[in-house]
Structure 1
Amino acid sequence: MSRAGRTSRRGIHFISMKYTHDLIVIGAGAAGLGCAGFGSSIGLKVALIDKSAKNFGGDCLNYGCIPSKALLHVASLFAGGKEAEAYGLQTSGKADFKKVMAYVHSRQEIIRAHETPEHFREEFGTDAIIGEARLTGKQEVTVGGKQLTAPKIVLATGSVPRTLDVPGVEKVKQWDNESLFWELDELPEHLLIVGGGPISCEMAQAFVRLGSRVTLLVRGERLLQKDPPKMGEILAEKLQAEGVDIRFKTEVASFSDTQTAVLKGGADAGAEEGSGSIEFTHLLVAIGRKVRTEGLGLAVAGVKVERGRIVTNERYRTSNKNIFAIGDAFGQEQFSHGAEFHNTQLWNNLLSPLKKKHNLDKFSWVTFTDPEIASFGMTPARLQEKGIAFETRELSLEADDRAIAADYRNGHLIVYLSTGWWGGGKVLGGCLAAPAAGEMIQELHLLQFQGKKYGALTNKIYAYPVGSRIIQKGARKGASDLLTSGPLPKLLRWMYRVGNR
């Protein structure tokens, strides 16, 4: 953006004498930055507050998406070298973890240049304030001893990692995704990970590839509970093949000392505490996150909290009609692109009389392991809940040419389609396990957004042998089934013979 453009955009702020700002945003993570940036871009006087400059960028930049993906990138280099041993390459040793983390931090700093208080002040004219913010009235926030007021306040205050609460836990250092990327300075000899979700799986694969021994404790019967069971099975097989020791239906019962966990469950699903123990050097806990509610003055502002979550309606409004919660503070999907979605919906509702409700029917999410597990749209449970009839189309990548050439034949595609003669065949959701699956599902996701039928891809020409041809194969399978079954083949034979005599 040019400086002239910025001057024009910032212009003159028409604010009632009753308020110091048009909008106050607390929290400078993905949700807060997006909310404050847009408000400032249209010429509103926006206050964006966070407790420290380092917190700008939030969980995604500092503790989540960016550092984890940078770590996974380095780990993939090690995996490639290991696989190449089968063809004559000789490798040995483990990762120099200090160099690995130096790379991770360097990637963060590149992105951080556009997510600082200074950048927002200069680029957008945002009143970026560093300090502890607290609600001190229905439309008032106090920070650094100064009272700010606005007709609307947005809470983008994020979440914090959940911790284990079992006997003896005080003896153990619990690493989480926040401490992992800033405090860990050595490659764990034996990393014990608790949890079976995306973070657990990504970190298990990253560290086993870098040279750690990794044990993964999963309370449930499979990985990735929010994805189809088939996807969890594929990922489990891959992790186990790389050396991750996965123990399903297993929990930590207690800690007997700083590096020993007493387990319960395991192969014997009914086992009691004392069914075994495991020694480790480092403990990573990834059992979810909880909304940040302490120290914000929520009660003073009339913002209700129930069961550890800020109470909101489907339009992100809290029990105080002038205060909204977005991002992790909203308490549902905790993704950076979830925060982006919340902002889109919230700003529509702040500017338009046509209000939008929170709805995840066209949402997507990706676990960035190898293979990636990418899901989009409605799940079978959601479709059944809404009473929508659907068919499931599945396709293994076992016979796919690109998968054969690049050795990922264990991949799998699932697509959910509407049924019925007139409205059948529309893409409703799906999931893919494959390298770069997050990129490959985008075409299907677009069809869902546009309300198009899967068959729209049937005659598209894909360069051979791009991986995304598998997306088309699912569509062509449906067309082939239609043309080669029932009464249609007889009609087609007649048409050929009549037209070619």
Structure 2
Amino acid sequence: MNYTHDLIVIGAGSGGLGCAGFGSSIGLNVALIDKTAKAFGGDCLNYGCVPSKAILHVASLFAGGKEAEAFGLKTEGKADFKKVMEYVHSRQEVIRAHETPEYFAKEFGTETIVGTAAMTGRNEVSVNGRKLTAPNIVLATGSVPRKMEVPGIDQVKQWDNESVFWELDELPEHLLVVGGGPISCELSQAFTRLGSKVTLLVRGERLNEKDPEVMGDILARKLEEEGVDIRFNTEIGSFTNATTALLKDGGAAGAGNAGRTLEFTHLLVAIGRKVRTEGLGLEQGGVKVEKGKIVTDDRYRTTNSSVYAIGDAWGGEQFSHGAEFHNTQLWNNLISPIKKKHNLDKFAWVTFTDPEIATFGMTPKRFKEKGIDFETRELSLKDDDRAIAADFRGGHLIVYLSKGWWGGGKVLGGSLAAPAAGEMIQTLHYLQTEGKKYSALTNMIYPYPVASRIVQKGARQGASDMLTSGPVPKILRWAYRLVNR
């Protein structure tokens, strides 16, 4: 069959840009399609990673000023929200310059097309009245925020991480946030620091349930110290008007909020995301959808073996670097006879609050599923010199290690709560990725007192325990005395 292209990619977010960029870089004729020029860059640039980190940066300046009051600085007032958003948008535009259709076409030679694409056959896509064909089609069409569905919700404006960065033009007086994941935590802290009153409703018993429980507890304490009113095991039962919610108990254990009303000025909903499937012509393309998700295997193939789904469209981990990971696996499978299956045992993620919560690798749940025996090294930062000097003694480190006489001591996963934890934990993640032992850090010379020395401290603690217990001290004493007679 004569195709118009070697590859068609629908969606120009993190997944689509990476997929089309690599294909074009090796000389393939690639078409990259998204509905608007602004959509190039995807959720990360427009609604997620970039704007959220920009607003967190501004909020951290406010937090620093407030903390400095203990040492004589005088501060007052709230954020000028329009100026805050001007800063956020300016940072987006700097990055957008390298993610426009024009730039991408010039830089990589990709045919970039602005228009609404839909599959019209197993290997065919229609856009702007054109019929495009290719042996493979990649769906990188992303996801959309889930909407709250409770009685009375039609009376209330639902803000989410998409609309809040482009439509909100005032600092909320009382922001009601619903959800207990990273987006909820990051925006709750940001708006509190900017001057809003924030109430956070969490259906379950803790924050960030994919991280170790101690990390959620540390983050909850910090948010509460800064003024966030967190209510666990609590849901919204209904809305009585545009600014009043009737609460009900949620989670495994009720929190005693049933029947209470809560007044607010703005509602921010962060209860997850759903895969975008409508309007893509998936049925015509032989791509099956079940329970709101595109049906795929662990090699990203849909029910049409010529069509793949990556990024949020795949329906798994919803991170920009998740889409990057999918691309590395997908391209291996497209050009190599040795196929790779999706596996998150060496994945990592960060919640960019203060403190940051960084988690990588395997978890106790995963160890149990795979029948892996492991040991845990756990350290509080309360006695760490840098943590004492910079006042982040509430931090915590967890490292999971393999057990066994021959292969024991290898880093398998872990988590860290600390300022810049996402940067600090990368050394440990590297050890896990390369299959190396934690003890490899014992001889590194960390400049004193860099914060990342804490990741070495656990390794040295293990080495110290080994050298000062059992028969080893006796052997070392004998060796010393023999050499120094």
TM over 0.5: yes
Question: In structure 1, what residue type is equivalent to 2:170?
Answer: E
Helix, strand or coil for the counterpart of 1:413?
Answer: strand
Change (3 A) 1:233 1:272: closer
Indicate yes or no: 2:433 matched with 1:446. no
Helix, strand or coil for the counterpart of 1:44?
Answer: coil
Work out whether residues 192 and 226 of structure 2, in 8 Å CA contact, stay in contact via their aligned partners in 1: yes
Work out whether residues 232 and 255 of structure 2, in 8 Å CA contact, stay in contact via their aligned partners in 1: no
Which residue pairs with 1:128 in the alignment? 112
By how many angstroms is 1:271 displaced? 7.0
By how many angstroms is 1:499 displaced? 2.2
By how many angstroms is 1:496 displaced? 1.8
By how many angstroms is 1:268 displaced? 11
The correspondence for 1:414, drawn from 373, 395, 398, is 398
| Per-residue deviation, residues 114-133 of structure 1 (Å, max 9, x unmatched) | 00000111111111001110
| Per-residue deviation, residues 465-489 of structure 1 (Å, max 9, x unmatched) | 0000000000000000001111111
The correspondence for 1:78, drawn from 49, 58, 62, is 62
Whole-angstrom distance in 1 between the partners of 2:464 and 2:391? 27
Alignment identity in percent? Answer: 77
Which residue pairs with 2:456 in the alignment? 472
Work out whether residues 141 and 148 of structure 1, in 8 Å CA contact, stay in contact via their aligned partners in 2: yes
Indicate yes or no: 2:340 matched with 1:334. no
The correspondence for 1:256, drawn from 222, 240, 246, is 240
Which residue pairs with 1:96 in the alignment? 80
The correspondence for 1:457, drawn from 441, 457, 461, is 441
Which residue pairs with 1:64 in the alignment? 48
Question: In structure 2, what residue type is equivalent to 1:420?
Answer: G
Helix, strand or coil for the counterpart of 2:378?
Answer: strand
The correspondence for 1:307, drawn from 288, 291, 298, is 291
Deviates more, 1:123-132 or 1:330-339: 123-132
Which residue pairs with 1:13 in the alignment? none
Which residue pairs with 2:176 in the alignment? 192
- Paired residues, number: 485
* Runs of at least 5 residues in structure 1 that lack an aligned partner in the other structure: 1-15
Which residue pairs with 2:102 in the alignment? 118
The correspondence for 2:231, drawn from 224, 247, 254, is 247
By how many angstroms is 1:494 displaced? 2.0
Helix, strand or coil for the counterpart of 2:166?
Answer: helix
Which residue pairs with 1:496 in the alignment? 480
Work out whether residues 274 and 292 of structure 2, in 8 Å CA contact, stay in contact via their aligned partners in 1: yes
By how many angstroms is 1:277 displaced? 1.0
The correspondence for 2:187, drawn from 203, 214, 230, is 203
| Per-residue deviation, residues 350-396 of structure 1 (Å, max 9, x unmatched) | 01111110100000000000000000000110111111110011000
Whole-angstrom distance in 1 between the partners of 2:230 and 2:309? 37
Question: In structure 1, what residue type is equivalent to 2:329?
Answer: Q
Question: In structure 2, what residue type is equivalent to 1:304?
Answer: K
By how many angstroms is 1:82 displaced? 0.2
Question: In structure 2, what residue type is equivalent to 1:391?
Answer: E
| Per-residue deviation, residues 123-176 of structure 1 (Å, max 9, x unmatched) | 111110011100000000001111100010000000000011000000000000
Change (3 A) 1:268 1:160: closer
Which residue pairs with 1:402 in the alignment? 386
Which residue pairs with 2:29 in the alignment? 45
Work out whether residues 328 and 334 of structure 1, in 8 Å CA contact, stay in contact via their aligned partners in 2: yes
Work out whether residues 262 and 273 of structure 1, in 8 Å CA contact, stay in contact via their aligned partners in 2: no
The correspondence for 2:155, drawn from 140, 153, 171, is 171
Indicate yes or no: 2:96 matched with 1:151. no
Helix, strand or coil for the counterpart of 2:450?
Answer: coil
Work out whether residues 6 and 136 of structure 2, in 8 Å CA contact, stay in contact via their aligned partners in 1: yes
| Per-residue deviation, residues 320-376 of structure 1 (Å, max 9, x unmatched) | 000000000000000000000000110111011111101000000000000000000
The correspondence for 1:297, drawn from 236, 257, 281, is 281
- Return the TM-score normalized by structure 1: 0.95
Work out whether residues 101 and 113 of structure 2, in 8 Å CA contact, stay in contact via their aligned partners in 1: yes
Question: In structure 2, what residue type is equivalent to 1:23?
Answer: L
The correspondence for 2:262, drawn from 268, 278, 283, is 278
By how many angstroms is 1:273 displaced? 8.2
By how many angstroms is 1:266 displaced? 7.0
Helix, strand or coil for the counterpart of 2:38?
Answer: helix
By how many angstroms is 1:424 displaced? 0.2
By how many angstroms is 1:217 displaced? 0.1
Change (3 A) 1:52 1:267: closer
Work out whether residues 23 and 47 of structure 1, in 8 Å CA contact, stay in contact via their aligned partners in 2: yes
Which residue pairs with 1:183 in the alignment? 167
Work out whether residues 189 and 223 of structure 2, in 8 Å CA contact, stay in contact via their aligned partners in 1: yes
Whole-angstrom distance in 1 between the partners of 2:96 and 2:90? 10
Indicate yes or no: 2:358 matched with 1:345. no
Whole-angstrom distance in 2 between the partners of 1:303 and 1:376? 33
Which residue pairs with 2:197 in the alignment? 213
By how many angstroms is 1:272 displaced? 8.4
| Per-residue deviation, residues 34-66 of structure 1 (Å, max 9, x unmatched) | 001111111111110000001000000000000
Question: In structure 2, what residue type is equivalent to 1:278?
Answer: L
| Per-residue deviation, residues 393-414 of structure 1 (Å, max 9, x unmatched) | 1000000000000000000000
Work out whether residues 247 and 266 of structure 1, in 8 Å CA contact, stay in contact via their aligned partners in 2: no
Work out whether residues 55 and 190 of structure 2, in 8 Å CA contact, stay in contact via their aligned partners in 1: yes
Question: In structure 1, what residue type is equivalent to 2:57?
Answer: H
By how many angstroms is 1:308 displaced? 0.7
Which residue pairs with 1:25 in the alignment? 9
Which residue pairs with 2:222 in the alignment? 238
Change (3 A) 1:330 1:90: same
| Per-residue deviation, residues 215-258 of structure 1 (Å, max 9, x unmatched) | 00000000000000000000000000000000000000000000
Helix, strand or coil for the counterpart of 2:379?
Answer: strand
Whole-angstrom distance in 2 between the partners of 1:112 and 1:164? 31
